[in-house]
Amino acid sequence: MSPMPPHKKKTPPVLIRPTQHGDIPALIALGNRIYPGDDPWLVEHYASHIKHFPQGQLVAIDPQTDRVVGCASTLIINWDDYEFDHNWNEFTDNGYFTNHDPEHGKTMYAADVMVDPDMQGRGVGKAIYKARFQLCRDLNLLRIRAGARLRGYSQYVDQMDAVDYVIKVIHKDIGDPTLSFQLKRGFRVIAVCENYLRHDPASLGWAAVIEWINHHVALRRDFRKRDPKYSPRKKLKPE
Ligand SMILES: CC(C)(COP(=O)(O)OP(=O)(O)OC[C@H]1O[C@@H](n2cnc3c(N)ncnc32)[C@H](O)[C@@H]1OP(=O)(O)O)[C@@H](O)C(=O)NCCC(=O)NCCS
């Protein structure tokens, strides 16, 4: 198993609220820490997110310090306009969310989630997702989909292909820093794709396409027939 962030100590619950323009410098600093050397979002990206979908942009605030310790960036898309193997740039219009389509879309696309490295493993990500699920329910949207970049895959690339890696993470034989977290939130893997974030050295571009269904609005036909190879391992009944 790859290392799991230790649950250091119980911290008071964080406050989750919509992102404001004044949060942008803190979000840029956070992005630089989480994705060093990459091309983290700039002021114009965050400003565009707030302009197109203010409710979908969330920050986590530490109530003791009033500091931004996490965030989530989301848009609504019409899934029929996309393919499973589209990459992150295509799903987010190069990070600007100008493809946000609340008129036709029933899918919330989870473009990013970040928690301050010093605060990881304390339930901040969980609190952010709780708010994301509530937003999906409040807007009567069908589901949340995302590409979970396979952050731990580069350590296993010599041993197995990405599909086998994902199956091992689903079976809890391997822990992946992103996908294990998403699966615990109730997401299911529906596909594995290459070239999602082409220049990400940790995932080597590989991602799992994941889905969380809003049971309040879903109909039977909305539960896309899932590939059984991505099903969680069944618990054996005691004899
Ligand atoms: C992924 C991320 C948002 C998780 O946030 P977090 O605040 O550390 O997560 P939490 O403390 O709320 O953890 C929630 C659960 O996930 C589990 N989890 C977190 N990291 C894990 C790991 N590396 N392996 C296995 N499980 C993990 C926790 O054990 C916890 O389990 P529980 O529900 O049984 O208590 C955070 O690690 C992060 O910012 N990563 C870098 C950015 C990133 O990769 N984002 C995703 C882009 S696709």
* DSSP track, 66-87: TEEEEEEEEEEE-GGG--TT--
The two tokens of residue 11 are 């911290």
The residue among 6, 4, 2, 15 whose CA lies nearest residue 124 is 15
> Does ligand 1 come within 6 angstroms of the Cβ of 184?
yes
Domain ranges of the chain: 15-230
| Residue whose CA is at the smallest distance from ligand 1 atom 18 | 181
> Does ligand 1 come within 6 angstroms of the Cβ of 60?
no
> Does ligand 1 come within 6 angstroms of the Cβ of 178?
yes
Q: What is the pTM of this model?
A: 0.92
Contact 55, 18 (CB under 8 A): yes
Q: Which residue has the tokens 């889905």?
A: 211
Q: Indicate the CATH number for domain 15-230.
A: 3.40.630.30
Per-residue pLDDT of the chain (239 residues; tens, 9 = 90+): 444 454 455 566 899 999 999 999 999 999 999 988 777 899 999 999 999 999 999 999 999 999 999 999 999 999 999 999 999 999 999 999 999 999 999 999 999 999 999 999 999 999 999 999 999 999 999 999 999 999 999 999 999 999 999 999 999 999 999 999 999 999 999 999 999 998 889 999 999 999 999 999 998 888 767 888 999 987 766 65
